[in-house]
Amino acid sequence: MKRYLFLMAATACMLSCAGNGDSGNGVELLDAAVFRTEIDGKPVGLYTLQNADGMTVQLTNYGARVVALWVPAADGRFRDVVWGYDSIDAYLRTADKYCGPVVGRFGNRIGKGRFTLDGKESQLTINNGENHLHGGPGGFECRVWDARETTTPEGNPAVAMSYRSANGEEGYPGNLDITVTYSLTPDNGLVIDYEATTDAPTIVNPTSHVYYNLHGTTEHSTDSHLLTIHASGFTPTDAGLIPTGEILPVEGTPLDFRTPHAIGERIGQTDYEPLAFGNGYDHNWALDKPEAGTVSLAAEAYEPATGIRMKIYTDQPGLQFYAGQGMDGKEVGKRGDRHNFRSGIALETQNFPDAPNHDNFPSSVLRPGETYTQHTVYAFETDEQ
Ligand code: FUC
């Protein structure tokens, strides 16, 4: 019955909602006109994908970014579960440019921005203390990608975004051609497929940096979300959040999410040094995998108030969980929602931070003739009420 109602609502929406406004199920589409512009001589726009149930994602090719993601809640109404802005101008002005984009070439940190590959040292740009974060100040999040609306081989609606990161950009060697394809499955999965090639040896580790709030509004903190991370280990860091190279067990620590825990339950235990360093959760978990490189369930977040559950499947070895402790309420986003303290969680599927400087971490090296791939799914379910 519920599925039938969603179908009705989705059909009505496709027929009637070309712009703003509630389509009957709560989905309010952003107007493409307020995203239409030109940046660096390239066209920027807003792209909308919708499945038969009405799940809707809106994306912009500025930063290959998720702008809005409407998923059903247990009450049958849809919620937008990502924090972001309602115009391209706001994204250009924002103080937190990591809301929604693909970050890279290398997601998360590289110590002192330095690594050596085939005996050749590269010095990357520095933008986080003395370190390199999320590809540097001119990372993928502020680049205009070429967007193409398409369908997956399974027939699902998709947008493919491509970008050439030139040799030397932010200090990285080699021209890197990367394509990120977003698609929606009929069973409410947002799929993100990455593919990259290079013309010279380089490193690559892109990830999706979306702030999720399963309340559908930042009026409520994400501290109430119940989080599960299928990982027995994590990569401890120094005070600058650069991995020491160890992989330590989570057992007996506030980082043990192998069974569900409310995010707020142990986040304040700053007598545990890793939580002091991160000022809360800002760590990389080493995912438990039946076999390296296989797609497996990495994490689940559940909000009891809305009944929305998000499951993350990935073939990546790591998951960075950042709990939004840098948010200060100053930025005002969609529907007047503020970027409030701990009101959005980033769950970033990736290789381990600083991997190029630790031989015991999975390799992030890409060579000419090879293709980097990543397959990650953010799948949404609701409790039946
Ligand atoms: C995460 C964190 C960082 C940073 C950023 C916005 O990936 O690891 O500490 O604050 O995102």
How close is the Cα of 157 to the center of ligand 1, in Å? 30
Which residues form ligand 1's pocket by a CB distance below 6 Å?
98, 108, 282, 320, 322, 326, 346, 348
Is residue 58 within 8 Å of residue 30, measured between CB atoms? yes
Reported confidence tier of residue 13, pLDDT bands at 50, 70, 90: very low
- Looking at ligand 1, which residue's alpha carbon is closest to its atom 9? 282
User: What per-residue confidence (pLDDT) applies to 240?
Assistant: 98
**Tokens for 325?**
């402790």
| 22 confidence band (pLDDT: 50, 70, 90) | low
* pLDDT for position 7: 35
Query: What are 353-373's pLDDT values in tens digits?
Result: 999 999 999 999 999 999 999
Pocket-testing residue among 97, 128, 133, 277, ligand 1, by greatest number of atoms within 8 A of Cβ: 133
Which one, of 252, 230, 256, lies nearest residue 317 by Cα?
Answer: 230
pLDDT greater than 50 at residue 10: no
pLDDT band of 21, cuts 50, 70, 90: low
Active site residues: 209, 348
- What's residue 23's pLDDT? 65
Confidence of residue 118 (pLDDT cuts 50, 70, 90): very high
Determine which helix (DSSP H) or strand (DSSP E) holds 90, and give its type and residue range: helix 88-93
Is the pLDDT reported for residue 6 higher than 90? no
Q: What pLDDT sits at residue 384?
A: 65
With pLDDT > 70 as the criterion, what percentage of the chain qualifies?
A: 94
Would you say residue 16 has pLDDT above 70?
no
- Measured CA to CA in angstroms, residue 144 lies from 60, 163, 295 at distances of 9, 7, 29
210 assigned ligand-binding residue: yes
Rounded CA separation 163/252 (Å): 43
Q: Name the token pair of 270.
A: 């700053």
pTM of the model: 0.94
Establish how many alpha carbons lie within 13 A of residue 320's alpha carbon, considering only the half-sphere containing its beta carbon. 28
